């Protein structure tokens, strides 16, 4: 058992979608969820891309908004390499992962390594390192954690919908 809780809060709920533009429209027009900030993650914006501990370039478009204190993310894979593309092929659209806060990223990574929980995918986006963990067997969903510098500022979005 852990000496203290490893997770400190819910940061983000993320869904994989086939078409980002259609999904944003559905969430906005049907439920008033938005506006959405749109970004492309690819080798030009993300460094140190990995999939299952191997260096692999992948790409996706994503949109972010807040619902209360929780960020929502919609992800459209732009290739067949990422865990998002795998998920879409195996499950169709739906809930992909939950990002959870940790006190210390390095301590959390050591905790997961000690449990034999590996890294599914990760990268560093403008200084923020994101890591998806192989927690499906133990928690029944994928956990994402961040190593966010104190001075992190989200870049200007490529677009906003609506």
Query: So what's the pLDDT on residue 4?
Result: 81
Judge whether 51 and 58 are in contact, CB under 8 Å.
Answer: yes
Kindly list the distances between the CA atom of residue 57 and the CA atoms of 82, 126, 155, in Å, as whole numbers in the listed order: 9, 16, 21
pTM over 0.85: yes
- Dihedral-angle region of residue 154 (phi above 0 means left; psi in -120 to 50 means alpha; beta otherwise): beta
Query: So what's the pLDDT on residue 1?
Result: 61
Judge whether 161 and 35 are in contact, CB under 8 Å.
Answer: yes
Query: So what's the pLDDT on residue 2?
Result: 64
β-pairing verdict for 128-133 and 60-67: unpaired
Q: Is 137 helix (H, G, I), strand (E, B) or coil?
A: helix
Give all domains of the chain, ordered by start, each with its CATH number.
9-150 (3.10.180.10)
Residue-wise DSSP of 73-117: EEEEESSSSSHHHHHHHHH-SEEEEEEEE-S-HHHHHHHHHHTT-
Taking the chain (162 residues) in runs of 10, the rounded mean pLDDT of each run is: 85 98 98 98 97 96 97 98 97 98 97 96 98 96 96 96 98
Which helix (DSSP H) or strand (DSSP E) does residue 27 occupy?
A: helix 20-31
Reported residue count of the chain is 162
Judge whether 34 and 94 are in contact, CB under 8 Å.
Answer: no
Cα gap 46→26, rounded to integer Å: 28
Cα gap 110→132, rounded to integer Å: 14
The token duo for 20 is: 């980002």
């Amino acid at each position: 058992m852990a000496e203290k809780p490893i997770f400190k809060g819910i940061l983000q709920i993320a869904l994989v979608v086939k078409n980002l533009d259609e999904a944003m429209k559905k969430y906005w027009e049907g439920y008033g969820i938005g506006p959405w900030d749109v970004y492309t993650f690819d080798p030009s914006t993300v460094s140190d891309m990995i999939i299952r501990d191997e260096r692999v370039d992948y790409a996706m478009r994503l949109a972010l908004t807040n619902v209360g204190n929780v960020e929502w993310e919609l992800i459209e894979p732009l290739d067949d390499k990422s865990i998002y593309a795998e998920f879409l092929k195996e499950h169709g659209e739906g809930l992909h992962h939950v990002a959870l806060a940790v006190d210390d990223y390095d301590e959390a990574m050591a905790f997961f390594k000690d449990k034999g929980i590996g890294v599914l995918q990760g990268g560093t986006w403008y200084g923020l390192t994101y890591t998806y963990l192989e927690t499906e067997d133990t928690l029944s969903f994928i956990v994402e954690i961040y190593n966010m510098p104190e001075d992190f500022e989200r870049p200007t979005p490529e677009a906003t919908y609506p």
